[in-house]
Chain A
Amino acid sequence: MARDKSTLLYAETHEWADVVDDGDSKIATVGISAFAIQQLNDLVYMDLPDVGKKVTAGEEFGEVESVKAVSPLYSPVTGEVIEVHSDLPDQLEQLNADPYDFGWIVKIRIEDEASLGALMDHAAYEKQCAEAG
């Protein structure tokens, strides 16, 4: 079933997080928005973290490169990387078509739920993108 992007949380830096309750803890599936992909244009390389890496909200966990530029990927949440979409770097062209389902990047077990408070809902993120033009 396709992910409903209107229920996602968004970072100012254009990452999205789909947060679900796992029983014991919350798991965030993380990707980058269609707006970001359109702005980046011509993606050629992605550098992903290893499973087990501790990440902090607002800090870099990887890189995505377009023809012209390197852009950091910032973690929208604080926690531990429990799964990495390792096929993605070889299929970056599919990110364009499907950033919210095929294009997930990492799954993070959230260790600090307070970090979620800094994220935007869909309406607020849409507004940010509209203002960025």
Chain B
Amino acid sequence: MSELLVKNAYVIDPINHIDGEVMDIAVRDGRIVEDVGPKATVIDARGCLTLPGGVDSHTHVCGTKVNFGRYMSPEDMRAGREARRGVKHATSGYSVPTTYANSYRYAVMGYTTLLEGAMAPLEARHTHEEFSATPLQDMMANTLFDGNWGVMNAIRDGDQDRVAEIVGWTLSAVKGFGIKLTNPGGTEAWGFGKNLTCINDEVPNFGVTPIEIIQAMIRACETLRLPHSVHLHCNNLGNPGNYACTLGTFNQIPDLNEKRQTLYATHVQFHSYGGSDWKTFCSKAEPVAYTVNNLPQIVIDMGQVMFGKTTTMTADGPMEFNLYRLHHDKWSNHDVELETGSGIIPVFYRRKNLVNSIMWAIGLELALLVKNPWQCMLTTDNPNGAPFVKYPEIIALLMSKKYRDAEFATVHPDTGSRVVLPALDRELDWNEIAVMTRAGQAKALGITGIGKGHLGLGAEADIAVYPIRVGEVDPAQEYRKVIDAFSRTKYTIKRGRPVTRDGEILVHGENTTIWVDPKMGPGHDISQDTEFVKMFDRYYSVRMSNYPVQDEYLKRSLRMETEAVF
């Protein structure tokens, strides 16, 4: 029995409506309890901002695509090198670092739960192998269904139950968490050298359109009672004028769930572009944010771009090819049979580049224009917009108009006429930041019930203690202190055990992989369906019996069982 007492903490816990109360947090056996005995280990958090452990609901840290980013950019491994010390493994890399480096850097920033944004089902084993080498965070993986042949055939045939059956079977086979759609239909079209420009184009050979895929998957998600909603990367990413496509998609999303959103739209910054080409490129964050404000069924994440070097990686193969034609740098494209694809390109976002400057502004505009912080998550779509180590800077940008103006003075001089950022006076407060970095993310993922994202009784004791005195620091003026505090916690506590102290890694932990197992009842087992088995045997290069990920791949496993209602 291990006991821990975090004393005199200045707590902000939005889910439990605690906003700046000085209190003690008692922990027994990894859970938050009423009180503990006198022998408990005591951590003095006097004057320290204490939040639930950070949750990142969209990041790319594990899996074949991330690993291929590592292959492709050996020069990236020249940065971030640290020698082995104590329990800490040697690390290297900046935009696509080693798994340990990802885990340590996240832990030092107070993050304890991560969602890998895109896992190709066929390559799930690799993702789970890397999860097991990410010691300090609990991991989840959204599973890609954007070009799934079985799903698209079922949608064309109008067989909604079958869509849910395939999704449910696949999720539990590959130990996935939720549904990810990346450029739905577009990546499959790209396999035939084509792309889809928006939601009403037909996917070649399948006779379905992206909006049909999106709506069928949303209904399947609700049929299966999944904790998280559909996680959508809209069509037409990164092209001028694509905001119209984004709005078109958002306006067709039904409101089907009272407890959470029906759609989680990722990196909306990349989907809020106006203009008709790169010369007339401008921000359309306003109409997008306005739409989100009117649609409570939608949650977005920023996908903030920060200046500097990074590596873009997404299952959106055609988009990455376009990016290659722009940069003419090294690139990779990859097809995952019958399921999805991916592309990887290293990029450098420059202040002196007008397009990059506008992209930087759009992310901030979205976060400031979306009124409800529960509807906008703070992410960079790591590492697509920037590596996650930039989060503290983004927090400071959102909290300080002064900092935004200082940064704005350094970007391309024409940016001002293309964006609305300089006109936005809103400065987010501590509570809103806590929502956008943990409480809101946990709620959107549907994992508050298993004790994530809050500090209520019975919650998982994931606690981040930041060395900043909330009452004495004015974040609007002293934004440097905010950046410093969020860059390095005083303590990060994972399952009731301090894992970092002042940036030092204290333990070699073991993560929990959270996955969803929808129970579908008799008559709905797609693996017994002759037609599905026939498709599998005919087109897949693996046998169906070899397809599911074995339990040995999950060191600690937390199965969230759901009851499907057909």
Partners in one complex: no
Interface residues of A (CB under 8 A from B): none
